[in-house]
Amino acid sequence: MTSEAFTGVSAFPLTPLRDDVLDYAAYAGLVERLARSEVDTITALGSTGCSPYLSRSERAEAARIAVERAGEKPVLVGIGALRASEVRALAADAQEAGAAGLLLPALSYQPLTHDEVFALFEAVTAEVSVPVVVYDNPTTTGFAFTDDLLERVAALPHIASIKIPGVPAEPLAARERVRALRGRIPESVSVGISVDPLAAAGLAAGCAVWYSVVGGFFPQAAMAMAEPARRGDHAAAAAASERLEPLWQLFRAHGSLRVVAALAGHLGLTADDPLPRPLRALEGDARRRAVEVAHELGLDEEL
């Protein structure tokens, strides 16, 4: 997998549990759906993949299943953990499973210094043989990269992409944000947008890849946004995103993970609630609303 491959849509499937045990059959099914879709890559064990909640052995097994069921699609594997030695072990496991790339966030419990985060990326990239995506997600990790730090990290070997946690809503500001970052990192490193409701804006602003939650469950809906964006038709991409606004509202209100977990359960793709406790998929009125939205948007016809 070359650095240039870090473009398009990378789909983030859930890693479903059943009675607190990895549900391998359901997971294989989720990955196979993505293998049949038009997404460019699959990222196993990202945030939506609940990776920090899983043990090393569960993660190794999930990585193997993802690679096995993804067919020709490259599989990226998340390797975030609090302890550096655990991250390095996870990187080795993921590569042994056949990962085409690795996704590395700066998980924190004690707030991390910039030098500590740089040293972590330095240690990991010195040992790996596949591309690495830098995952900046302050909401989950508690650590926010600065552009100075992204510039230092992006210059390390194997760094292929930076997953940013959004862009400003205003188009000119969004474009300026991506341009500013691009100006500080090598051309070979792509900038990718996460946070689905901001994806159309991010792609219009110059992001080359969308790290997508909705793409991990409803790849057609994701491609309906990503394909016009790829052709440069950002008005059509924005319209496709606008159409999904009822889904984005649920994502904003409850977190995307609880919404897609409820829908995956409702649609019979997983156990009724496939999340690791203490997390819970949507219940009650919120779940009924999610099911209603999925039906109105035709997402349930993707099955």
Pairwise CA distance, residues 34 & 23, whole Å: 17
Site for a copy of itself contains 24 (CB under 8 A) = no
Least distance to a copy of itself from the beta carbon of 255, Å?
6
CB 30 within 8 A of CB 63: no
Site for a copy of itself contains 53 (CB under 8 A) = yes
Consult the annotation and say whether 15 binds a ligand: no
Least distance to a copy of itself from the beta carbon of 27, Å?
17
Site for a copy of itself contains 127 (CB under 8 A) = no
Cβ nearer to a copy of itself, comparing 102 with 225: 102
> Which two structure tokens, joined as six digits, stand for 151?
């510039």
Site for a copy of itself contains 119 (CB under 8 A) = yes
CB 217 within 8 A of CB 263: yes
CB 46 within 8 A of CB 11: no
End-to-end CA distance of the chain: 29
By annotation, the residues acting in catalysis are 135, 163
Least distance to a copy of itself from the beta carbon of 148, Å?
18
Of 195, 238, 224, 194, the C-alpha closest to 298 is 224
Site for a copy of itself contains 85 (CB under 8 A) = yes
Site for a copy of itself contains 103 (CB under 8 A) = no
Instruction: Convert residues 132-151 into a mask of x (bound to a copy of itself by CB under 8 A) and - (unbound).
Output: -------xxxx---------
Within 254-273, which residues bind a copy of itself (CB under 8 A)?
255, 257
Pairwise CA distance, residues 270 & 142, whole Å: 29
